[in-house]
C-alpha cells in the first residue's frame, strides 16, 4: 500500500482537475478503510466493482490509479470510464501539439539555414551562441538606426512631412465686407482739407486759398456703398532653441499701415488684379518669461481697445516683452522697444545753396517711436481676471519744422524741411505750414508767382496711456468684459498751436478764423457680453461703447481706420455683435456714429456687415 501526496498529485500530467481532486482525496479514503477503528473490509466474495479484476495493468499511471480507486469502491465504473476517456483525449492532444511544434521547428530551422547560407559567402564564420544582453543591445541599435532613417527619408509614415517641415505652420483668414457710409446734412464740404493728399502728392498753392475748391478735401456729403475684401496668408516657423520666424502677406489698396482692405472694383476696375503687400516679417526669440522681436511684428504693447493703436497695426523695429509670476495669479509685465516710423531716403533731396549757388544734399530727418509699458495681470478669482497697464510713448522728430527761406514757385522745387511732413496720415491732427517761401514775381507781368506749400504736424507727441480690462466669467461660457483706455499728450502746447495751426479752429459769426479749439485727451469705454472668441456654430457676443478722442491726443496715422472713417478729433457711440456660422466662420454687424470735436462741422454714420473665415 502507498500514499499519494497532494503536491505529487497536482504534478501528474496529463490530469484533469476533477481527477486530481479524487486522487488527492484517495489517501484519506484508504486510511479510513484500513483504520482499526473503522468497520472491517468486505470479505472476498462479497459484491464489489467488476472492472478491476478483469483489467490488465495499464502502462498509463492515470488509468492504473483510476482502476485502483474503482477496486476500492471510491469511484463508480461509469465515472472511471469517463475519467479514462478524458485522460486519453488530453494525452492525444498533447502528443499532437508536440508533433506539430516539432515539425514547424524543423521547417523554421531549415529555412533559417537556407537563408543564412544564401546571405553569407563561403568561409563566413558563425557564432553559435550570443548572450541575451548582447541580443537586446543589438536590437536597440538596429531599431534606432532604422527609425532615424525612416524619419529622415519619410518612408516609415507615408504622407507625413520631413521633420523640418513639421516645424512650419501656415495660417490665414478671409473677410468679405459691405460698408455703408452715410453723411447727415450740415457737414462742411470745404473745411475738411485732405492734408495727407497734399503731403503725399503735389504741394498746394496757397495763393489759391481764396478759392478753397482747389484744395483736396475729404468726402463729407455724398453717401457711399462699398464692397471690400481682406485676405491674409501667414507662416510661422519654429527654428528651435527658442527662435522662430514669421511672414505674412495681405491685400490692400495702398501701403496704409492701418488697413488691408481692398475695395472691389477699385485699382483700375474692370476686374483688375489686386496688390499684395508684405504685412509681417520678423525674427523672434522666446523663453519662459521673455520675448524679443525684430522686424515687422504685431503690436507688442498691451492695448485692449483701438483708441491709440489700431488692432491690425504692425510695428517695425525691436521690442522686448517680459513677465514673471510673483504670486499665485499675480503676474507683472513690462514692454519696451524702439521703432523707426520714417527713415529718410539715402539719397535725400538736392537743392541749391542760396549763399553759394552750389547744389547740396538735405540733411536726413529720421523719425522714431520709443515706448515703454508696465502693468500687472491678476486672477482675482478662478473666474475673474483683471489687467492694468500704463505706457509712455515718445514720438521723436514728428513735429513739422519751418524751412530756411526757399523758392517754392514750382511744384517740383524742394525746401530743406520738406521731410518733416508726415508720410502718412488720416485726419484730425493739427497742421502748420513748413515752407518759408520767398515771394517771387513774374518779371514780365509783375504777378506774384505760385507759392507751393507743404504742411507738418503742429504739435509734438509724447502720450501717456492708461489701459484696463475686467473679465467676469461667472456666467461661463458667456463672459462680461469691461474695457477702458485713457490717453493724454503730455507734449501738447495749446498756446503755441493757437499761433501756428491752420485747422481745428472754432468758427466765428463773421466767417473769420477763430481760436484754436483742439485738445490733447481721449478716452474709450466698452462692454462686451457673450463668448470671448467666436470659434463654433452659434457662438456669439455683443458689444457697445463710447469713444472721445481730441485732435492731438495722439498721432492720427495709427488709430482706428473705421470709426468716423479714421483719425482723431472724433466722438460718438458704437454697437455691434458677432455670430458663429460654422467652425471658424462667423458674421459681424457693427454701427458707428461719429462727429467732429473741433473745427468744421463733420459727422458720419457707418454700417459694416462682415463674413469672416479663419484657417
User: What's residue 546's pLDDT?
Assistant: 98
In the predicted structure, residue 218 carries a pLDDT above the cut 80:
yes
For position 577, what pLDDT does the model report?
A: 98
- Is residue 335 within 8 Å of 372, Cβ to Cβ? yes
| One domain for residues 408 and 490 | yes
Question: Which helix (DSSP H) or strand (DSSP E) does residue 332 occupy?
Answer: strand 330-342
* DSSP per-residue letters across 267-288: TTSTT----EEEEEEEEEEE-S
Q: Which residue, of 91, 124, 155, is where some domain finishes?
A: 91
SS (H, E, C) 530-580: ECCCCCCCCCEEEEEEEEEECCCCCCHHHCCCCHHHCCCCEEEEEEEEEEE
Is 264 among the domain residues?
A: no
pLDDT for the residue 450: 92
Q: What is the pLDDT of residues 239-270, one digit of tens each?
A: 999 999 999 999 999 999 999 999 999 888 88
433 and 520 in one domain? yes
User: Residue 609 and residue 180: Cα distance in Å, rounded?
Assistant: 9
Q: What is the pLDDT of residues 280-308, one digit of tens each?
A: 999 999 999 999 999 999 999 999 999 99
Greater confidence, 130 or 8?
Answer: 130
Give yes or no: residues 199 and 150 share one domain.
Answer: no
Computed over every residue of the chain, the mean pLDDT equals: 84
Task: Dump the DSSP string for 65-115.
Answer: HHHHHHHTTSS-HHHHHHHHHHHHHHHHHHHHHHHHHHHHHHHHHHHHHHH
pLDDT at residue 312 is higher than 70 = yes
> Looking at the structure, do residues 582 and 452 belong to the same domain, yes or no?
yes
* Long-range residue pairs from 353-359, CB within 8 A, at least 24 positions apart, any chain: 354/404, 354/405, 354/406
Question: What is the mean pLDDT of the segment spanning 262-279?
Answer: 91
Q: Tell whether the model's pLDDT for residue 166 goes beyond 90.
A: no
pLDDT grade, residue 65 (50/70/90)? confident
The residue among 91, 112, 127 that closes a domain is: 91
The pLDDT, as a whole number, for residue 56 is 47
Mean pLDDT on 351-374: 77
Residue with the three cell numbers 458707428: 592
pTM score of the predicted model: 0.73
Same domain, yes or no: 565 and 471:
yes
Q: What is the pLDDT of residue 10?
A: 40
Domain that holds residue 514: 183-222+287-614
Q: What is the pLDDT of residue 117?
A: 62
pLDDT of residue 69: 77
> Residue 382 carries which DSSP code?
T
Bridge pairing between strands 168-182 and 603-614 = antiparallel
Q: Which of 55-59, 117-121, 404-408, 563-567 has the lowest mean pLDDT?
A: 55-59
Tell me, yes or no, whether 350 and 483 share the same domain. Answer: yes
Write the DSSP assignment of 113-179 as a string of letters: HHHHHHHS-TT----S---HHHHHHHHHHHHHHHHHHHHHHT-SSTTPPPTTGGGEEEEEEEEEEEE
Confidence of residue 444 (pLDDT cuts 50, 70, 90): confident
**31 and 149, same structural domain?**
no
CB 430 within 8 A of CB 458: yes
Q: pLDDT tier at 353 (50, 70, 90 boundaries)?
A: low
Instruction: Please determine, for residue 80, whether its predicted confidence score (pLDDT) is greater than 80.
Output: no
What integer is the mean pLDDT of 21-47?
43
Lowest mean pLDDT segment, chosen from 494-508, 528-542, 583-597: 494-508
Query: Which pLDDT does position 511 carry in this prediction?
Result: 67
Give domain status of residue 336, yes or no. Answer: yes
Q: Mean pLDDT over residues 330-354, rounded?
A: 83
- Cα 448 from Cα 427, distance rounded (Å): 31
Residues 538 and 431 in one domain: yes
What is the predicted pLDDT for the residue at 60?
63
Of 35, 58, 91, which residue constitutes the final position of a domain?
Answer: 91
60-79 average pLDDT score: 74
Is residue 498 within 8 Å of 492, Cβ to Cβ?
Answer: no
Section 12-20 average pLDDT: 44
Indicate whether 408 and 491 sit together in one domain.
yes
pLDDT of 127: 57
In a domain, residue 262? The reply is no
Query: Which pLDDT band, with edges at 50, 70 and 90, does 33 fall under?
Result: very low
106 within some domain: no
Contact 30, 1 (CB under 8 A): yes
User: How many structural domains are present in the chain?
Assistant: 3
Residue 60 lies in a domain: yes
> What whole-number distance in Å separates Cα of residue 554 and Cα of residue 96?
95
Same domain, 582 and 465: yes
User: Is 187 part of any domain?
Assistant: yes
**77, 152: one domain:** no
CA angle 406, 411, 416 (to 5 degrees): 35
Phi, psi of 101 (to 5 degrees): -65, -40
Q: Which three cell numbers stand for residue 442?
A: 513774374
Name every residue whose Cβ is closer than 8 Å to that of residue 391 and which is 6 or more positions away in sequence: 301, 335, 371, 372, 373, 374, 464, 465, 467
In tens, the pLDDT along 146-163 reads 777 766 666 656 556 677
Q: Which residue has the cell 475684401?
A: 229
Would you say residue 564 has pLDDT above 50?
Answer: yes
* Per-residue confidence (pLDDT) for residue 364, from 0 to 100: 77
82 shares a domain with 148:
no
Residue 111 lies in a domain: no
Residues 535-563: pLDDT tens digits? Answer: 999 999 999 999 999 999 999 999 999 99
Q: Would you tell me the crossing angle of helices 61-71 and 17-34 to the nearest 10 degrees?
A: 40
- The answer to whether residue 357 sits within a structural domain is yes
Amino acid at each position: 500500500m502507498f500514499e499519494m501526496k497532494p503536491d505529487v498529485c497536482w504534478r501528474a500530467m496529463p490530469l484533469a482537475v476533477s481527477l486530481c481532486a479524487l486522487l488527492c482525496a484517495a489517501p484519506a479514503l484508504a486510511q479510513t478503510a484500513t483504520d482499526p477503528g473503522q468497520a472491517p473490509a468486505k470479505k472476498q466474495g462479497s459484491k464489489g466493482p467488476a472492472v478491476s479484476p478483469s483489467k490488465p495493468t495499464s502502462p498509463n499511471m492515470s488509468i492504473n490509479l483510476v482502476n485502483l480507486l474503482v477496486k476500492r469502491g471510491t469511484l463508480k465504473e461509469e465515472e472511471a470510464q469517463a475519467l479514462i476517456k478524458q485522460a486519453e483525449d488530453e494525452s492525444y492532444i498533447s502528443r499532437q501539439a508536440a508533433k506539430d511544434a516539432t515539425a514547424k521547428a524543423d521547417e523554421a530551422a531549415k529555412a533559417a539555414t537556407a537563408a543564412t547560407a544564401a546571405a553569407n559567402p563561403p568561409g563566413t564564420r558563425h557564432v553559435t551562441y550570443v548572450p541575451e544582453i548582447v541580443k537586446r543591445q543589438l536590437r536597440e541599435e538596429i531599431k534606432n538606426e532604422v527609425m532615424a532613417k525612416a524619419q529622415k527619408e519619410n518612408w516609415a509614415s507615408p504622407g507625413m512631412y520631413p521633420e523640418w517641415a513639421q516645424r512650419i505652420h501656415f495660417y490665414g483668414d478671409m473677410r468679405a465686407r459691405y460698408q455703408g457710409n452715410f453723411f447727415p446734412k450740415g457737414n462742411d464740404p470745404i473745411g475738411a482739407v485732405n492734408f495727407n493728399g497734399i503731403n503725399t502728392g503735389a504741394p498746394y498753392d496757397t495763393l489759391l486759398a481764396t478759392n478753397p475748391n482747389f484744395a483736396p478735401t475729404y468726402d463729407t456729403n455724398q453717401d457711399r456703398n462699398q464692397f471690400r475684401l481682406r485676405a491674409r496668408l501667414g507662416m510661422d516657423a519654429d527654428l528651435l532653441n527658442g527662435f522662430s520666424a514669421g511672414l505674412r502677406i495681405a491685400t490692400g489698396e495702398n501701403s496704409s499701415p492701418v488697413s488691408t482692405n481692398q475695395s472691389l472694383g477699385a485699382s483700375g476696375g474692370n476686374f483688375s488684379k489686386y496688390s499684395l503687400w508684405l504685412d509681417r516679417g520678423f525674427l523672434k526669440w522666446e523663453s519662459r518669461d521673455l520675448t524679443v522681436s525684430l522686424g515687422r511684428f504685431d503690436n507688442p504693447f498691451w492695448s485692449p481697445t483701438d483708441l491709440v493703436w489700431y488692432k491690425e497695426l504692425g510695428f517695425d523695429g525691436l521690442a522686448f516683452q517680459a513677465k514673471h509670476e510673483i504670486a499665485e495669479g499675480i503676474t507683472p509685465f513690462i514692454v519696451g522697444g524702439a521703432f523707426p516710423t520714417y527713415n529718410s531716403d539715402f539719397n535725400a533731396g538736392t537743392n541749391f545753396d542760396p549763399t553759394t549757388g552750389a547744389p547740396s544734399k538735405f540733411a536726413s530727418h529720421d523719425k522714431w517711436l520709443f515706448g515703454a509699458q508696465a502693468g500687472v495681470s491678476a486672477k482675482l478669482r478662478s473666474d475673474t481676471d483683471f489687467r492694468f497697464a500704463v505706457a509712455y510713448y515718445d514720438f521723436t522728430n514728428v513735429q513739422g519744422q519751418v524751412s530756411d527761406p526757399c523758392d517754392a514757385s514750382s511744384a517740383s522745387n524742394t525746401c530743406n524741411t520738406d521731410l518733416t511732413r508726415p508720410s502718412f496720415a488720416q485726419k484730425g491732427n493739427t497742421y502748420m505750414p513748413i515752407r518759408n517761401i520767398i515771394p517771387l514775381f513774374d518779371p514780365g507781368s509783375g504777378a506774384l508767382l505760385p507759392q507751393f506749400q507743404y504742411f507738418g504736424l503742429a504739435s509734438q507727441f509724447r502720450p501717456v496711456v492708461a489701459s484696463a480690462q475686467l473679465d467676469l466669467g461667472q456666467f461661463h461660457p458667456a463672459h462680461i468684459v469691461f474695457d477702458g483706455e485713457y490717453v493724454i499728450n503730455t507734449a501738447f502746447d495749446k498756446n503755441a498751436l493757437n499761433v501756428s495751426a491752420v485747422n481745428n479752429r472754432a468758427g466765428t459769426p463773421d466767417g473769420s478764423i477763430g481760436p484754436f479749439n483742439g485738445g490733447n485727451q481721449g478716452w474709450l469705454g466698452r462692454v462686451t457680453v457673450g463668448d470671448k472668441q467666436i470659434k463654433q456654430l452659434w457662438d456669439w457676443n455683443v458689444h457697445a461703447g463710447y469713444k472721445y478722442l481730441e485732435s492731438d491726443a495722439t498721432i492720427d496715422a495709427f488709430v482706428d481706420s473705421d470709426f468716423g472713417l479714421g483719425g482723431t478729433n472724433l466722438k460718438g457711440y458704437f454697437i455691434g455683435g458677432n455670430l458663429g456660422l460654422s467652425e471658424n466662420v462667423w458674421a459681424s454687424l457693427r454701427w458707428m456714429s461719429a462727429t467732429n470735436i473741433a473745427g468744421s462741422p463733420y459727422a458720419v454714420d457707418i454700417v459694416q456687415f462682415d463674413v469672416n473665415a479663419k484657417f
